[in-house]
Amino acid sequence: MTSSQQCTVYFLVCALALVISACSASQVEPILDDQSTVVPSAATLSPPATGGSPTESASATAVHTVTPTVKPSATATATPVPSLTPVIVDSENPAAQEYYGLGMQAIDTGDDDVALERFTAAIAEDPGFVWAYIMRGDVNARMGRNGRAMADYDRAIELDPEEPVAYFNRGVLNYGIGYYDHALEDYARVIELNPDDVYAYLNRGDIYFTLGEHEHSVEEANRALKIDPQAADAYAIRGVAYANLGQYDLALEDMDKTLDLNPDNSIMYFYRGQTHWHLGNRDRAIADLEYYLQLDPDATERDFVDQMLDDLRGAQQGA
């Protein structure tokens, strides 16, 4: 394939992959342990032919999964992994508190089975222990038991409708299983309860990105940046959204800023390389794509990037 031929470039930000079983959009069964991978779809861009300009594809399904860009905030998890969920004990039952502490210790050592048992024991001692449900939900989600995780988050919200982390984590789960409207509702509630939660805006922006609503992604990133002007992930999401809108100069500014703030974000070199290609900056495109492969030699996109590099080098030689 040469640079004059049509091929597809996938700009992905946070394709959250959760293990679930297919179920109806109206209900999640309380126990749902069958595992299958869900990868949200993403809008695509076609690289320009020699001397041409990129065109947007109406829709496509993402075939390249990438490392998520969004990381957990200090007050809630941006994935179902509860490593940064705060240690909060809202039970006055000593036995429940002890089991909860043992569950947190098990999480620290990576023993999910033990953690699950301990949080379940804490709930048995105190059925109103909101944070035991939240933490058990996080562990269930990490283990791929997404129906059980959903039931735990629902119960936590029923017990305490003012707890934003329960909505946040349920939003992550709803997003991962493709219930985008429900996820947006959850994040709206998080923002209502905690208007300064940067990652609620970012994850909501990522949902809009998955839906191809890139203008809304930009708006959500802008809201996040008003709260934290140094939020690297906000620049990342906005930059990739701008690229999908064909606003490559703005995209490049945000990608540069992302790497200034977080030079270890390897996937951003992949995105910036593609953006340089669209802007006709062949040398810079080659440099970014080569560096991306140095940082991540086993990248899922390896064959795709190798082909891009062959085309770019061929175009250089022919220039």
Domain assignment present for residue 305? The answer is: yes
Report the amino acid identity of residue 267: I
**3-state class (DSSP) for residue 4:** coil
Q: Are strands 9-10 and 44-46 parallel, antiparallel or unpaired?
A: antiparallel
Domain assignment present for residue 241? The answer is: yes
Tokens, residue 57 = 């594809």
Listed in sequence order, the DSSP H helices in the chain are 94-108, 112-125, 130-142, 146-159, 164-176, 180-193, 198-210, 214-227, 232-244, 248-261, 266-278, 282-295, 302-318
Domain assignment present for residue 123? The answer is: no
Our measurement of the distance from residue 296's CA atom to the centroid of its chain's CA atoms, rounded to an integer in Å, reads 19
The per-residue DSSP string of 26-47 comes to T---S-----EEE-----EEEP
Residues 6+ apart with CB under 8 A from 297: none
**3-state class (DSSP) for residue 128:** coil
Domain assignment present for residue 100? The answer is: no
Cross-strand partners of 164: none
| pLDDT of 87 | 56
Tokens, residue 47 = 């690289």
Domain assignment present for residue 102? The answer is: no
Q: Which residues of 103-116 are buried (b: 16+ CB within 10 A; e: fewer)?
A: bbebbeeeebebbb
The domain of 59 spans 9-90+129-318
Count of domains forming the chain: 1
The answer to whether the CB of 76 falls within 8 A of the CB of 88 is no
Our measurement of the distance from residue 221's CA atom to the centroid of its chain's CA atoms, rounded to an integer in Å, reads 14
Domain assignment present for residue 106? The answer is: no
Q: What is the CATH number of the domain that holds 245?
A: 1.25.40.10
| pLDDT of 294 | 94
| pLDDT of 312 | 92
Q: How confident is the chain (319 residues) per 10-residue block, as mean pLDDT?
A: 31 29 30 32 31 28 27 32 51 92 94 97 96 96 95 97 96 95 97 96 95 97 97 96 96 97 94 95 95 93 92 83
